[in-house]
Amino acid sequence: MHLRRAFGFGNTTDFDPFLLLDDFRNDVPADYLAGFPWHPHRGIETVTYVLAGTVEHGDSMGNHGAIAAGDVQWMTAGSGIIHQEMPKGDPEGRMHGFQLWANLPSALKMTAPRYQEVKAADVPLVQDDDGTAVRIVCGSFWGKKGPVEGIAADPTYLDVSVPPRRRRTLPVETTRHAFAYVFFGDGKFCNASGPLAVPTEAVGWLDTKPPTQADNRSLVLFDRGDEIEVQAGEDGVRFLLVSGKPLVEPVAWYGPIVMNTQEELRQAFEELERGTFLRA
């Protein structure tokens, strides 16, 4: 399946407790229908958020179903799960969604696998008078709470839309790592650091010129602080705003399995070979 990886399989420190964010966006069915056939996971949790098309899901616990536009699927791999995710386009052939991997702390790496599916109607939408709209997938925001709960990283996962040329300040807890991923329009973000070179100065940042503009498919990593500020461009801006509490633990990662040590990683793959990988 053709996708864009916003981050993952590199230095995990800046994004801790998150490991990977994939943007699967395509309107060519031949590029995505192969999907992700049966494969294992251990030591992580995944949150899949669909904007267009559907993703059919099945796993070794007997769960199966499909998530469509606006729906969310949360899976705790824990001690081990084998599953598949097969995308299907909408009537126009479009497929769009995101998958976020959150690390599990060492004490919960071998917890029992869990699965939750949330329909679009159950994801709260809050709107402000200026037209700013926020869908709350996880966490609390503007007095509302998202439906996905029990994730060890305690994430806040928001889908934020800011109208054209509007300037908004959004709260973020100071103890968290936070990032934004722009997937429509463009804007300027204050209090941001790499990997996108955006202004960090507190004064005069609105007067900066591109390439400080964060446009479609841009990733913005924020410095520590209690808020972020965004100035929407001419077409407005829509982005994921995600934050979580860092685990500050060693990461041993190969493919779909994430543990704390190389020995634990080796053991997981040996169990996969022996057929003893699944515990539940």
User: Terminus-to-terminus CA distance in the chain, angstroms?
Assistant: 29
Instruction: Give whole-number Cα distances, 254 to 27, 31, 186, 268, 278, in Å.
Output: 30, 25, 34, 10, 18
For residue 205, pLDDT over 60 is answered with: no
Instruction: Give whole-number Cα distances, 155 to 14, 99, 107, 138, 241, in Å.
Output: 15, 14, 18, 6, 10
Instruction: Answer yes or no: do 56 and 133 share one domain.
Output: no
In a domain, 211, yes or no: yes
pLDDT in tens, 114-147: 988 999 999 999 999 999 999 999 999 999 999 9
For residue 195, pLDDT over 80 is answered with: no
Instruction: Answer yes or no: do 8 and 29 share one domain.
Output: yes
Could you list the residue range(s) of the whole structural domain that residue 157 is in?
125-244
In a domain, 252, yes or no: no
Instruction: Answer yes or no: do 129 and 146 share one domain.
Output: yes
For residue 265, pLDDT over 60 is answered with: yes
Instruction: Answer yes or no: do 112 and 197 share one domain.
Output: no
Count how many domains the chain has: 2
pLDDT of residue 193: 54
pLDDT in tens, 90-113: 999 999 999 999 999 999 999 999
In a domain, 148, yes or no: yes
The residues with which 229 forms a beta bridge, in sequence order, are 169, 190
The residues with which 84 forms a beta bridge, in sequence order, are 58
- Contact between residue 40 and residue 74 where contact means Cβ atoms under 8 Å apart: no
CATH number, domain at 182?
A: 2.60.120.10
Instruction: Answer yes or no: do 162 and 233 share one domain.
Output: yes
In a domain, 279, yes or no: no
In a domain, 249, yes or no: no
Q: Whole-angstrom Cα distance, residue 38 to residue 56?
A: 12
Instruction: Answer yes or no: do 99 and 83 share one domain.
Output: yes
* Mean pLDDT of all residues belonging to the chain: 87
pLDDT of residue 172: 87
In a domain, 250, yes or no: no
In a domain, 76, yes or no: yes
Write down the pTM of the prediction. 0.89
